[in-house]
Amino acid sequence: MTDAVHPLAVAVWQAASTPRDVDANLAALDAVAARAAADGAHLLITPEMYVSGYNIGESMAGIAARQPLERVRRIAERHRIAIIAGGPELLDPAEADPTEVDPTEADPTETTPANGDPGPPVANAAWFIDDTGEVLARHRKIQLFGELDRDLFVAGDAPLTIAEFRGHRIAMLICFDVEFPETVRAAALAGVDLVAVPTAQMEPYGFVNEHVIRVRAWENSVYVAYANQHGPDGELRYVGRSVIADPFGAHVAQADPSGEALIFGDVDRVARERARRQNPYLDEVRTALFRSGERT
């Protein structure tokens, strides 16, 4: 049984996508979902862009058009385990530009590939699929990192994506999103228990895995689960070191820098509330001082 007073068992999968090979990636995901479920996990988190591969250039839109994340739903239902899976999501053009901004005034680094042809808009997405195969929430990466992200993806505009699952509130962020303190603080103020982060963290940024994630957990009294790719991907090299951090800032579980790994941790509402009593940041921050134009 899992509800607000019973822990949620989380599995974080550190894996290396096979670039452009959705079938191979989904076959591996199917196998690890069976393993995680057999080991008692309620929720499995994959790395960023796991389903398609991340550094795949112009192939991204074509793969997104095949709706690969839809196929994850059958895996979740078959093994009776919830899955947060990272992959490309093809957007309706209206979603990419909901305000119909004049293209002469738009920021091309956010929406247009380097070749000047915007093509079909694609989001760097993570879907939360429950253990019946229902899609509970979709998060689109809001903080695009570097030319690779900006050449391939349209930034999301929802600062907070939260799903309710088995009595727990779970926020989704993707990679660079979690490195901004505002995102996790907003999630904490919304009462989440867990921040789930598919990522493709690369060299030379391993300090994020080692230090930033546990700080985000501690300063906001939440659990943070960070699922990374590992190994080489073209000119990139992912740092592994997937991690689950608890609200006290401790690493509950951590993977090695290289190699596939499946790590486990429990999200315990009672422990989170105890951490918040010990560390009163959320209660004592003088928010009004930081609101633009306000004085106290």
Rounded alpha-carbon distances, angstroms, from residue 103 to 97, 165, 244: 10, 40, 42
Could you count the other beta carbons within 10 Å of the beta carbon of residue 180?
Answer: 15
Name the 3-class secondary structure at 126: strand
Sheet holding 82-90, edge to edge: 135-140, 122-129, 82-90, 43-45, 8-14, 261-267
Spot the catalytic one: 48, 105, 219, 294. Answer: 48
Contacts of 12 (CB under 8 A, 6+ apart): 45, 225, 226, 227, 242, 243, 244, 253, 255, 262, 263, 264, 265
Name the 3-class secondary structure at 124: strand
* 110 among known catalytic residues: no
For tokens 């739903």, the residue is 73
Here the tokens at position 189 are 């103020």
CB 123, CB 158: distance < 8 Å: no
How far is 97 from 141, CA to CA, in rounded Å? Answer: 15
Here the tokens at position 175 are 């990679």
Spot the catalytic one: 89, 95, 110, 141. Answer: 141
* 48 among known catalytic residues: yes
CB 115, CB 152: distance < 8 Å: no
Name the 3-class secondary structure at 263: strand
How far is 276 from 82, CA to CA, in rounded Å? Answer: 27
* 260 among known catalytic residues: no
Spot the catalytic one: 100, 175, 203, 294. Answer: 175
Write out the catalytic residue numbers.
Answer: 48, 141, 175
